[in-house]
């Protein structure tokens, strides 16, 4: 909150504001700012042949030839995708009854409301123990604040839109780089010649013994990295391994390796490949395994959550070239991966900046 030095009173304004604007923001219930409406039941005929996109809670799935609403508008899910808003800028669309939508902006700037809703965190108003469902009445009673001047709303929205455009560009950079690295990996390893081994004959493969409920999501001194099937690293006060390892999730929809050298803990449904034969360089093996996702998907068992068994790892065939070739391959691919790490770091920084600005530019 800002403080007026003359009056010494706390004003209802955000901590960060464009200098040309003064005056307090108005505090209102969300219902008086941009109320959420439930989508509509939709006839099932003519969905594929239609011209108007049907917006479901998880995106555009089909089309219809009759029902339409004119944008701009906001769409979020009533369950599952609660709080993840899609902004519809122009054209026509039809909100399905699995969605909640906003087209009545009560005289406010629609794009400003899009960012305002990102600060409300409406998922907090969901109920239900299984798949949570949003309680619309609780959302509508929530108090928020908006600038009285539409020009201030528009300037905030334009500023944050520029940042969003940069985030979209960064995502494209990362996607193209990932695609490039994947293609280069496959080309290189398709040409590799050498001695063929089974993975179980050139390394030890074992699983962990820790549970995710014991882990912390934030690092503190004295904690060690804890790896489970998610991409996010968690932390535990004890470690199970202290060695160079290739780590695999034991269940999921994709099976991509992670390289780590040092002390770490491991989930009981994850695997560590370690204690490598002198014929193989662990980093070379790591990059080879990155090309084997289809093999692991194909050999996973279970219909609900596909999982990997120890023998799936042990029987995987690996072609090992000379030490010189291994070094050349992993040195080159490591350079590309470091570039990807840099681009991912830039993305994290941009997202962090956006979270900060949303906290500081809204009340």
Q: For 173-210, what is each residue's pLDDT tens digit?
A: 999 999 999 999 999 999 999 999 999 999 999 998 88
Q: What percent of the chain has pLDDT over 70?
A: 83
Longest dimension (CA), the chain: 81
Q: Are the CB atoms for 255 and 230 separated by under 8 Å?
A: no
> What pLDDT, on a 0 to 100 scale, did the predictor assign at position 121?
81
d(CA 11, CA 3): 6
Q: What is the pLDDT of residue 219?
A: 84
Query: Would you state the structure tokens that stand for residue 265, as one six-digit string?
Result: 């803990």
Q: For residue 239, what are its two tokens?
A: 């470690």
The DSSP 8-state label assigned to residue 143 in this structure reads E
Q: How confident is the model at residue 5 (pLDDT cuts 50, 70, 90)?
A: very low
Token pair for residue 22?
């003064």
Residues linked to residue 145 through DSSP beta bridges, in sequence order: 27
Q: Is 101 helix (H, G, I), strand (E, B) or coil?
A: strand
In whole angstroms, what is the distance from residue 157 CA to residue 175 CA?
A: 27
Nearest CA-CA partner of 286 in 334, 234, 224, 242: 334
Q: What pLDDT does 49 receive?
A: 55
C-alpha radius of gyration, the chain, whole number: 26
Distance of alpha carbon 102 from alpha carbon 42, whole angstroms: 18
Q: Which of 29-43, 206-220, 264-278 has the highest mean pLDDT?
A: 264-278
Dist. CA 121–CA 85, nearest whole Å: 11
Tokens 């695609």, residue? 179
Domains contained in the chain, CATH given: 26-146 (3.90.220.20), 194-320 (3.90.220.20)
Length of the chain, please? 363
> What average pLDDT does the chain have?
86
To the nearest 10 degrees (0 to 180), the angle between helices 282-289 and 323-361 is 60
Q: By three-state DSSP, how is residue 80 classified?
A: coil
Q: For 288-294, what is the mean pLDDT? A: 94
Parallel, antiparallel or unpaired: strands 224-227 and 258-266: parallel
Bridge-based pairing state of the strands 9-10 and 86-88: unpaired
Core vs surface per residue 317-332: b (16+ CB within 10 A) or e: ebebbeeebbeebbee
pLDDT score recorded for residue 266: 93
pLDDT number for residue 346: 97
What's the DSSP call for residue 58?
T
pLDDT top residue among 346 and 92: 346
What is the model's pTM? 0.79
Cα–Cα distance for residue pair 193/172, rounded to 1 Å: 34
């Amino acid at each position: 909150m800002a403080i007026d030095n003359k009056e010494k009173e706390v004003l209802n304004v955000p901590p960060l504001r464009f200098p040309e604007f003064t005056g307090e923001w108005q505090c209102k219930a969300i219902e008086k700012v941009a109320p959420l409406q439930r989508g509509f039941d939709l006839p099932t005929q003519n969905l594929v042949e239609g011209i108007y996109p049907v917006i479901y809670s998880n995106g555009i799935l089909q089309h219809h030839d009759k029902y339409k609403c004119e944008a701009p508008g906001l769409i979020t899910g009533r369950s599952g995708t609660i709080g993840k808003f899609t902004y519809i800028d122009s054209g026509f669309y039809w909100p399905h009854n699995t969605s909640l939508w906003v087209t009545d902006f009560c005289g406010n700037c629609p794009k400003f409301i899009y960012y305002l809703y990102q600060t409300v965190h409406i998922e907090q108003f969901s109920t239900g123990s299984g798949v949570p469902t949003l309680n619309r009445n609780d959302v509508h009673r929530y108090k928020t604040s908006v600038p009285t001047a539409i020009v201030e709303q528009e300037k905030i929205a334009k500023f944050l839109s520029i940042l969003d455009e940069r985030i979209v560009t960064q995502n494209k950079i990362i996607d193209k780089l990932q695609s490039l690295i994947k293609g280069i990996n496959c080309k290189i390893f398709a040409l590799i010649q050498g001695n063929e081994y089974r993975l179980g004959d050139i390394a030890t493969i074992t699983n962990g013994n820790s549970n995710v409920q014991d882990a912390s999501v934030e690092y503190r001194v004295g904690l060690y990295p804890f790896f489970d099937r998610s991409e996010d690293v968690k932390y535990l006060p004890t470690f199970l391994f202290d060695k160079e390892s290739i780590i695999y999730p034991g269940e999921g929809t994709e099976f991509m390796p992670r390289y780590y050298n040092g002390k770490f803990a491991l989930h009981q449904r994850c695997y560590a490949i370690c204690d490598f034969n002198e014929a193989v360089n662990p980093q070379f093996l790591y990059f080879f395994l990155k090309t084997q996702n289809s093999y692991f998907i194909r050999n996973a068992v279970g219909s609900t959550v596909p999982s990997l068994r120890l023998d799936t790892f042990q029987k995987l065939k690996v072609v090992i070239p000379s030490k010189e070739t291994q070094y050349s391959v992993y040195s080159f691919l490591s350079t590309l991966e470091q570039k990807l790490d840099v681009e991912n770091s830039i993305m994290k920084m941009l997202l962090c900046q956006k979270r900060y600005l949303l906290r500081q530019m809204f009340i």
